[in-house]
Chain A
Amino acid sequence: MSSRLRPIAAVAAIGVVALALAGCVPNPRATGSSTTLDVKIADDSCEVSAATAKAGTVTFTIENSGTDVNEFEILADDKLRIVGEKENVTPGQSVSYVAQLNPGTYYTACKFQQVGQPIGLAAFEVTGEEIESSASEKKQIAAAVTNYVAYIKSQVGALVPAVKTFTDAYRSGDDDTARALFASTRVAYERIEPTAEAFGDLDPKIDYREVDALAEGLDWTGFHRIEKDLWPPAAGDVNSDGTDALEGWTASTPQQRGEFADGLVADVQQLSDLVNAKDFTVGIADISNGAIGLLDEVATGKIEGEEDWWSHTDLTDFAANVEGAHVAYGIVRDIAKNKDADGAKLVKTIDARFDDLEAELAEYGSIEAGFTPYDEVTDSQRKELSDAVNALGKPLSQLTHTVLGVSGS
């Protein structure tokens, strides 16, 4: 949720990118070795001929023996950030995909019909010496944009079916199932929230809290409308603004449930259509500002416990925002690092602060296993989390300036 953040200004970002590119210098050619591996794709499997490779150029020869279009992905060790991908591998097709990989742990996976959860997720170790980047900054920026757009699509791709399952349970009155799915269904959305917010009226429909919808005179729909049905208030309960929770609210009838379920399904489908449109892209500044924006979401909303007022699943949103910020940051990280000594120093600080915040969060659970309900997190624990958010927010706020390298201070 946020009605206050500015939508991403695509036009402004393009201007800044051009400015940044004017000063870029191509880096030396790539070093390192060369490996070729086979990837066998079926509808329900994704097998790579080896689980390790030497750092350098890795060529994947991909063959799709399945029944429908598929894609091959290389993910970072967080299993979220897309390091590289080959889309639109049609049945019967065999294609090559070349990746430049540095030492580290990666994951390979495929995505049947190019949506939903990754299939055949498998660890992939790259060993050896760090390769020098062969990419000029211009290429790095282009790759960053491609990778972030891919990440947005992958998250929306996971969101659509998750919302379908969740709303089916809610619609049919299977509240136990719906309650169990509420937090996890929101994860994909929370990871890319600034993108949805950029589309004007979509975020208000999908993710507005009651008090905000009321204040802006909007029909209250989306996740939080459903949330209040699933965790209905008792007499005497108050909304996050202190008003009577029962005033102007009644539990939805089965017909209303159907309408709210249909509405949320349609709204996330519209989000999917928008991010899968041919002309959809983002600017490099949108990525770094997206990382900053996601952390602001945490600092202004989740930390107060006002986001998931009835379910108290705020920490799952919190963690998803942080993951989304980490992915966006990870995508532009090397651009910042390669700028100059200050850039390298900034990246080192941000890396450490992400580690601190994630370690702090891990004390309360995980996205997979669930988190401590936020109403059980004490004020002093909330302050510790807030301190860790502020500690990260300070260097992260310098990221866009560093990535774009516009002189000024």
Chain B
Amino acid sequence: MTDDESGRGLSRRGLLGLAGAGAAGLALGGAGGAAVAAGIAGAAAANGTSTVYPFHGEHQAGISTPAQDRLHFAVFDVDAGASRDDLIQLLKDWTAAARRMTAGDEVGGGAVDGSPLAPPDDTGEALGLPASGLTLTFGFGPTLFTSAEGDDRFGLADRRPPELEALPRFRGDALVPQLTGGDLCIQACADDPQVAVHAIRNLSRIAFGTASLRWSQLGFGRTSSTSTSQATPRNLFGFKDGTANVKAEEQSALAENVWVGAKQGPEWMVGGSYLVARKIRMVIESWDRTRLEEQERVIGRSKGEGAPLSGGTEFTEPDFTRKGATDAPLIDRDAHVRLAHPDVNDGIRLLRRGYNYVDGNDSLGRLDAGLFFLSYQSDPAHFVTVQRSLASDALNEYLKHVGSAVFAIPAGVAEGAWIGRELFG
């Protein structure tokens, strides 16, 4: 309940001493294997869960930051009755809370030290847990600028970048309205799922009266590496994913493919990016009945090593022209790796940051599982190009796109400033 920026309040880790070694041991035990090369983002390197990524900077954290293990992604709609001032206040309140939570601190006056007669400012489930590499990345959807009915809701219509518009319809789309679109987004990534959920829960609570959740998604097992120090993870098809991703170490590739430059504009977006979120349901039962040879043909890589079928090892560039004994290309014409490759997409590279998801099961007894695809690019048109190229992807047989959204991700926040200030300036 406070937008103070003075650093008042408690550090959750400060409570470790009070909570006793038991709690600390428990928290650290959950860290297993989460260690990342924290130095890349200038973080205070330690073990995985005590990683703190700076909240302030030229770009928002959570994009080129080494992908954490867990995700809670949330999309909000601003209430019909909210004013421009209400929206600005919300962004200020969110910024103040995000600043504290990413540092491992409690929101506002804390979880247990406030008035006994009022609900605590912080919900408390992250007490005793370190920052866990939490990043919070905020974005603005097209409907924040102009409503579906064409209303200039907050006097922002003329500030909308032309790039920011609802994505076109793609082959394989089976979009559910409740999982599509939205005014505002927050991507919470952390190495501890409880820390990510705590962040979204508290930010949702702060929003009551101004904005409410439209949809949200939990993710686990990052499906992309965003740093060369990270091993390539596997998606739920069992294949390595994101081998050719844009990595944090590739500064020029980031500048070229991910960040909005000064020439591109508008000014308030310089240093920002565009986020595409797609909830892609995998028909994994059918996939799991598919013979290995066919699985590898569909992907265009070997399942074990992740090497392109044209030969070599994981990081060998695929050779799409190389033919086998039958004179057919070794990497099939409709293999996923071919159609997604920069060579067939005008050199476009997306920074992918997706996560696996399993939302229980459906009524037919099938796992409701898939890929929560997140990609950052300097123009959503890059995603559109790649996605259109994937129209003939052999993998489509096993995929259904059920959710979709696009957001403008403003540049990073300076000390004492707030998310999106330049947009309203």
Partner of A390, one of B114, B116, B209: B209
Q: Shortest Cβ distance from B74 into chain A, in angstroms?
A: 15
Partner of A400, one of B80, B108, B118: B118
**B81–A356 contact, CB under 8 A?**
yes
Knowing A387-B79, A397-B119, A398-B1, say if A409 contacts B114 (CB, 8 Å).
yes
Knowing A394-B208, A400-B118, say if A409 contacts B113 (CB, 8 Å).
yes
Q: Shortest Cβ distance from A388 into chain B, in angstroms?
A: 8
B17-59 to A contact mask, C-beta < 8 Å, 1/0 = 0000000000000000000000000000000000000000000
Does A406 count as interface, using CB distance less than 8 angstroms?
Answer: yes
Q: Shortest Cβ distance from B80 into chain A, in angstroms?
A: 8
Interface residues of A in 365-399 (CB under 8 A from B): 383-384, 386-387, 390-395, 397-398
The CA-CA distance from A384 to B113 in the complex, in Å, is 33
| A interface residue count range (under 10 / 10 to 19 / 20 to 34 / 35 or more) | 20 to 34
Interface residues of B in 103-128 (CB under 8 A from A): 108-109, 113-119, 121
**B79–A400 contact, CB under 8 A?**
no
Q: Which residue of A lies closest to B114 (CB)?
A: A409
The CA-CA distance from A387 to B208 in the complex, in Å, is 7
**A401–B117 contact, CB under 8 A?**
yes
Partner of B212, one of A353, A383, A401, A404: A383
Partner of A401, one of B79, B81, B118, B208: B118
CB-defined contacts of B234 to chain A, threshold 8 Å:
none
Interface size on B, residues (CB 8 A): 19
The CA-CA distance from A353 to B116 in the complex, in Å, is 24
CB-defined contacts of A394 to chain B, threshold 8 Å:
205, 208-209
CB-defined contacts of B208 to chain A, threshold 8 Å:
390-391, 393-394
The CA-CA distance from A353 to B119 in the complex, in Å, is 19
Q: Which residue of B lies closest to A399 (CB)?
A: B118
Q: Shortest Cβ distance from B96 into chain A, in angstroms?
A: 15
**B115–A401 contact, CB under 8 A?**
yes
Q: Which residue of A lies closest to B118 (CB)?
A: A401
Q: Shortest Cβ distance from A233 into chain B, in angstroms?
A: 23
CB-defined contacts of B1 to chain A, threshold 8 Å:
398, 409
Q: Shortest Cβ distance from A169 into chain B, in angstroms?
A: 41
Q: Shortest Cβ distance from A198 into chain B, in angstroms?
A: 18
**A387–B212 contact, CB under 8 A?**
yes
Interface residues of B in 64-100 (CB under 8 A from A): 79-81
A220-260 to B contact mask, C-beta < 8 Å, 1/0 = 00000000000000000000000000000000000000000
Knowing A356-B81, A391-B79, A398-B1, say if A408 contacts B116 (CB, 8 Å).
yes
B118-145 to A contact mask, C-beta < 8 Å, 1/0 = 1101000000000000000000000000
Does A213 count as interface, using CB distance less than 8 angstroms?
Answer: no
The CA-CA distance from A404 to B116 in the complex, in Å, is 11
Q: Shortest Cβ distance from B4 into chain A, in angstroms?
A: 11
The CA-CA distance from A398 to B108 in the complex, in Å, is 14
The CA-CA distance from A349 to B210 in the complex, in Å, is 12
Q: Shortest Cβ distance from A15 into chain B, in angstroms?
A: 12
CB-defined contacts of A406 to chain B, threshold 8 Å:
115-117
The CA-CA distance from A391 to B209 in the complex, in Å, is 4
CB-defined contacts of B114 to chain A, threshold 8 Å:
408-409
Q: Shortest Cβ distance from A108 into chain B, in angstroms?
A: 35
**A285–B117 contact, CB under 8 A?**
yes
B193-222 to A contact mask, C-beta < 8 Å, 1/0 = 000000000000100111010000000000
Q: Output the residue of A392, A393, A394, A395 with the most chain B CB within 10 A.
A: A394
Q: Which residue of B lies closest to A402 (CB)?
A: B118
CB-defined contacts of B108 to chain A, threshold 8 Å:
409
The CA-CA distance from A378 to B33 in the complex, in Å, is 46
Q: Which residue of A lies closest to B110 (CB)?
A: A409
The CA-CA distance from A234 to B52 in the complex, in Å, is 59
**A395–B209 contact, CB under 8 A?**
yes
With contacts A356-B81, A387-B212 known, what are 11 further pairs, Cβ within 8 A?
A16-B117, A353-B209, A390-B208, A390-B212, A397-B119, A400-B117, A401-B118, A407-B115, A408-B117, A409-B115, A409-B121
| B contact set with A: CB distance below 8 Å | 1, 79-81, 108-109, 113-119, 121, 205, 208-210, 212
Q: 14 interchain pairs (CB within 8 A)?
A: A16-B117, A353-B209, A384-B80, A391-B208, A397-B118, A397-B119, A404-B117, A406-B115, A406-B117, A408-B114, A409-B109, A409-B113, A409-B115, A409-B118
| A contact set with B: CB distance below 8 Å | 16, 285, 349, 353, 356, 383-384, 386-387, 390-395, 397-398, 400-401, 404, 406-409
